[in-house]
Chains A and B, each alone.
Chain A
């Protein structure tokens, strides 16, 4: 007879094997490898524009996508940095998809376009000050 602790370990191991995550309906294997945006404008066009629109004005339906145009909330850079890094509500997080450099570039771009005049560039160091919430893939 095996010692109990060993047996319990075996069962734990077996349960791990059984607990296969149910995957969301997703495109599937391989992932996609689209072009990687570099400049702030490129990041905006290839990522942010999907919701905030080409003119930065967002939209209104059953809920709304906030307008980035003439937006005083962009004044203190820490706020938009934290939104891009960690998301909130309908805003997804980008800590695992945009580098600190891309985040800094795009925020510098947004803060100096769409009627915003916050000319001080956002730096990678500014982005590094906002810790990313841990995100472990789940069911």
Chain B
């Protein structure tokens, strides 16, 4: 941390705070620095004592809508949920073999995966600190298994480095760290850091560089058993006569730098992407299904909300049946609206002008996922990759290996693309068949001998063409947060919005749940005060 030109150590900082605010402040600061709070979740809201006959209409049966319905029913409200799709869960969704999906524009895909295989087109991983989601998974009996987020043995590919040949993460990361350690060591020896750190700390730093950076006794990063212990061996340790390992060659540092490997290393350090991560056994949709089991009786499916209005007496929602086109009305005292802003901004929605401005100010990101079913697990059998991601700077961004059924024979589905930004738009604009061809072409760089040979069939979801979402997730900026966020989450008379868009945990299921619990707690308070 920088302050008027010179560095401050953590110790200095803590003692400064100690002097300022006494031990309590010091303690608070230490908990912040040392043991960051994991979540804002303090347990289910335990609402109770709704006024007799009080009613709430919930729009949308995604996780935000269903948790609202579940908790409000427990509190004593009469709840009804209107959902556009024949399925509950919203973006919490999996495509299984036999499913049919029609995107906007009319392209229809029949998913050809084998029994038990699936693609999670939306959410696919759960951080260990998303306690709200984990709480409901446990309460509703959703079995979770590890999601292999970080795999040292997967590949990193960059069209501008190593002539476009992918390298193993572990080798790139080791060579990056080793070279950086060596350079830092030189800077210390050249007295480049004398003004920054004490002699004592310089010694400790050198010790750290030697260990962390795999340096030899001369403080050099060289080919040897030390560097091999991170980056892998030429001949790995074995038994008997040829048991002794031999080290591997280092990669040229300039090429290592061209891969931008530090981006990959830093990615895994992000709080949201740190291990342990989880996935539901059998597909992400198991969570939506478990919620739906609790509230199914309250949901009206195939109900396309077309108009919301409110007055002193209550809220009126018009909806059309997507099959018959028949228009109906539903009334309630209050409304929890979880319809994505992309859609809500187009409805005659009965919201105040300020709220409408907020709703229209937050466009959504885009993304495309493609599942590829392969005849066999060649990534496991031929490349020793068990789960995790291989990254590329091509449009597909990555391919990701299945986290379940390791070592099994028979077909398995890998994720052939998780494209966003420009790469996502390009894939989204294609027909489903063209998408498969494009991702096979790009993904082949990782497994050239097998990728096309073992391919059986695929399925893709372009979020910008998902009929009920029209995008991936809300894209807030500092500016829109400042101008519109508090409005967006406020109660607009009898209507309150909820969903991932109404949170600071955007594009996570946790955000949808936390937003909804906060919204219904305020709704309940308001209803009791009325």
Inter-chain contacts of B508 with A (CB < 8 A): 22, 24-25
Candidates B272, B391, B425; contact of A30 at CB < 8 Å: B391
Does B460 sit within 8 A of A, measured CB to CB?
A: no
Which partner residue on chain A sits nearest B395 by CB separation? A34
- Per the bound structure, the CA–CA distance linking A136 and B20 in Å amounts to 34
Which partner residue on chain B sits nearest A29 by CB separation? B263
Does B363 sit within 8 A of A, measured CB to CB?
A: yes
Does A131 sit within 8 A of B, measured CB to CB?
A: no
Does B144 sit within 8 A of A, measured CB to CB?
A: no
Given contacts A13-B1, A14-B29, contact A32 B397 (CB under 8 A): yes
The contact string, 1 if C-beta is below 8 Å from chain B, for chain A 72-98, is 000000000000000111111100010
Asked if B260 and A22 make an inter-chain contact with CB atoms under 8 angstroms apart, the answer reads no
Candidates A23, A45, A61; contact of B468 at CB < 8 Å: A61
Asked if B507 and A25 make an inter-chain contact with CB atoms under 8 angstroms apart, the answer reads yes
The contact string, 1 if C-beta is below 8 Å from chain A, for chain B 478-493, is 1111000000000000
B417, chain A: closest CB distance, angstroms: 9
Inter-chain contacts of A4 with B (CB < 8 A): 20
Which partner residue on chain A sits nearest B505 by CB separation? A22
Does A59 sit within 8 A of B, measured CB to CB?
A: yes
Interface of A (DSSP majority class):
loop
Asked if A32 and B468 make an inter-chain contact with CB atoms under 8 angstroms apart, the answer reads no
The contact string, 1 if C-beta is below 8 Å from chain B, for chain A 1-12, is 110101111110
Given contacts A2-B16, A9-B3, A91-B363, contact A63 B478 (CB under 8 A): no
Candidates A11, A30, A54; contact of B158 at CB < 8 Å: A30
- Per the bound structure, the CA–CA distance linking A137 and B421 in Å amounts to 14
The contact string, 1 if C-beta is below 8 Å from chain A, for chain B 157-172, is 0110000000000000
Inter-chain contacts of A88 with B (CB < 8 A): 360-361, 363
Asked if B479 and A50 make an inter-chain contact with CB atoms under 8 angstroms apart, the answer reads no
A14, chain B: closest CB distance, angstroms: 6
The contact string, 1 if C-beta is below 8 Å from chain A, for chain B 418-431, is 11111111101100
Asked if B267 and A28 make an inter-chain contact with CB atoms under 8 angstroms apart, the answer reads yes
B392, chain A: closest CB distance, angstroms: 7
Among A4, A6, A32, A47, residue most surrounded by chain B Cβ atoms (within 10 Å): A32
Asked if B364 and A92 make an inter-chain contact with CB atoms under 8 angstroms apart, the answer reads yes
Additional A-B contacts beyond A22-B508, A138-B476 (8; CB < 8 A): A13-B2, A17-B1, A28-B273, A30-B156, A50-B462, A59-B104, A62-B343, A137-B477
Q: 7 interchain pairs (CB within 8 A)?
A: A23-B272, A25-B507, A32-B393, A48-B429, A50-B425, A59-B465, A139-B506
